């Protein structure tokens, strides 16, 4: 018995922004972006693509696949760092949008690791009460938190949402286990300030602005090392060999991080799902979007072991194993 994924869904805004489009607003070019990041395009939302709306559309797809109505959902957890409001949570807006009247709802902030954190949390709720049905969503409108004058960061990020419906099942399907990590000492390497304070005693003369700031090279180094370690610790904990894993679905940060990870783990590249070329880095949304794509492409079959791994601001990182 375990916590199984009963349905997956994703939603990407329609507008496709190419590297050539970005070269018109910052000093960059298609070749640099493709070779350094593997990204060709990303989706950028507009009016009507607020984070909760992306989330609700992805959730509706997941509910449809699970054949579960919104009214049957007990809990909605949204992993996000780019909700359009600080209060109420994105999850409360999703609840309203779906009409999931019986659910309680809240957000979690673990940056790009948010989905893996939320999945682990939901697994534990369901272990405590197997009757619970839970929506876990990763949703981001990072275009609203991007400094469009900073070529180091604006080329990396995109908007989108992915969702899963979780519920208890008999048999050996479900979440096998997860390991999560954080190191707040390294916060400054990848961070985002809030809007300027309204408290006169806390006002700063030069507001840093509510956008993503990053030390790219440092983040790169830690990301590869941390994800590799999280994976190895989890496999050891669950006594699962890497060769038993059918598909690895990593956070889609950039292709060089993923290639490096694959090389250091010594696994075949064909075992790793990659769609960063299409959507860029969508933070907490990247794993559930990829999971939905892999699922709909029938790349995962019942009984297959799927490995998720993530790394993000905080720093936060982790890995999860699921038997499909």
34 binds ligand COA (CB under 6 A): no
155 binds ligand COA (CB under 6 A): yes
Q: Which position among 92, 251, 295, 309 bears the catalytic label?
A: 251
- Find the binder of ligand COA among 165, 186, 257, 305 (CB under 6 A): 257
- Find the binder of ligand COA among 145, 151, 211, 264 (CB under 6 A): 151
- Find the binder of ligand COA among 52, 117, 273, 311 (CB under 6 A): 311
CB of 154 to ligand COA, least distance (A): 8
260 binds ligand COA (CB under 6 A): no
The encoded tokens of residue 233 equal 């610790």
CB 176 within 8 A of CB 240: yes
Query: How many residues of this chain interact with ligand COA, rule: CB under 6 A?
Result: 23
Q: Is 309 a catalytic residue?
A: no
Order of strands across the sheet that contains 2-11: 2-11, 159-169, 134-141, 75-79, 104-108
Q: Measured between alpha carbons, how far is 193 from 153 in angstroms, rounded to an integer?
A: 15
Q: Which is nearer to ligand COA, 33 or 108 (CB)?
A: 33
Q: Which is nearer to ligand COA, 174 or 312 (CB)?
A: 312
116 binds ligand COA (CB under 6 A): no
Q: Which position among 19, 90, 92, 112 bears the catalytic label?
A: 112
- Find the binder of ligand COA among 60, 216, 242, 277 (CB under 6 A): 216
219 binds ligand COA (CB under 6 A): yes
Q: Is 193 a catalytic residue?
A: no
275 binds ligand COA (CB under 6 A): no
28 binds ligand COA (CB under 6 A): yes
112 binds ligand COA (CB under 6 A): yes
- Find the binder of ligand COA among 6, 76, 98, 223 (CB under 6 A): 223
Q: Is 281 a catalytic residue?
A: yes
Q: Which position among 19, 260, 281, 295 bears the catalytic label?
A: 281
Instruction: Give residues 280-309 in contact with ligand COA (rule: CB under 6 A).
Output: 281
- Find the binder of ligand COA among 217, 243, 297, 298 (CB under 6 A): 217
Using the structure block, give the residue that is written with the tokens 């799927």.
306
18 binds ligand COA (CB under 6 A): no
220 binds ligand COA (CB under 6 A): yes
CB atoms within 10 A of CB 267: 17
SS (H, E, C) the chain: CEEEEEEEEEECCCCEEEHHHHHCCCCCCHHHHHHHHCCCEEECCCCCCCHHHHHHHHHHHHHHHHCCCHHHCCEEEEECCCCCCCCCCHHHHHHHHHCCCCCEEEEECCHHHHHHHHHHHHHHHHHHCCCCCEEEEEEEEHHHHCCCCCCCCCCCECEEEEEEEEEEECCCCEEEEEEEEECHHHHHHEEECCCCCCCHHHCCCCCCCCCEEECHHHHHHHHHHHHHHHHHHHHHHHCCCHHHEEEEEECCCCHHHHHHHHHHHCCCHHHECCCHHHHCECHHHHHHHHHHHHHHCCCCCCCCEEEEEEEECCCEEEEEEEEC
Catalytically annotated residues: 112, 251, 281
Residues within the interface to ligand COA (CB under 6 A): 28, 32-33, 36-37, 112, 151-152, 155-156, 214, 216-217, 219-220, 223, 253-254, 256-257, 281, 311-312
């Amino acid at each position: 018995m375990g916590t199984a994924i009963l349905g997956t869904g994703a939603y990407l805004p329609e507008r496709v922004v190419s590297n050539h489009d970005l070269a018109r607003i910052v000093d960059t070019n298609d070749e640099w972006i493709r070779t350094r990041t593997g990204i060709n395009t990303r989706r950028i939302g507009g009016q009507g693509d607020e984070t909760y709306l992306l989330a609700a559309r992805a959730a509706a797809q997941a509910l449809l696949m699970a054949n579960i109505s919104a009214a049957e959902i007990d809990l909605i957890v949204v992993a996000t760092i780019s909700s359009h409001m600080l209060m109420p949570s994105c999850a409360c807006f999703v609840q309203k949008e779906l009409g999931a009247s019986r659910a309680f709802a809240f957000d979690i902030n673990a940056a790009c690791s948010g989905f893996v954190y939320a999945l682990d949390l939901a697994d534990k709720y369901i272990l405590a009460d197997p009757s619970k049905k839970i929506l876990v969503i990763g949703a981001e409108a990072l275009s609203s938190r991007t400094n469009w004058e900073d070529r180091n960061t604006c080329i990396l990020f995109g908007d989108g949402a992915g969702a899963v419906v979780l519920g208890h099942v008999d048999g050996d399907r479900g979440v096998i286990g997860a390991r999560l990590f954080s190191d707040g000492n390294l916060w400054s390497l990848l961070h985002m300030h809030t809007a300027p304070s309204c408290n006169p005693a806390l006002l700063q003369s030069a507001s840093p602005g509510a956008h993503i700031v990053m030390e790219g090279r440092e983040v790169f180094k830690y990301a590869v090392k941390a994800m590799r370690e999280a994976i190895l610790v989890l496999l050891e904990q669950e006594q699962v060999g890497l060769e038993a894993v059918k598909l690895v679905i990593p956070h889609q940060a950039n292709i060089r991080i993923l290639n490096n990870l694959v090389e250091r783990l010594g696994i075949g590249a064909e075992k790793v799902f990659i769609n960063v070329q299409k959507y860029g880095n969508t933070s907490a949304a990247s794993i559930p979007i990829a999971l939905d794509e892999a699922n709909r492409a029938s790349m995962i079959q019942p009984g297959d072991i799927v490995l998720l791994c993530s790394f993000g601001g905080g720093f936060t990182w982790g890995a999860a194993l699921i038997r499909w």
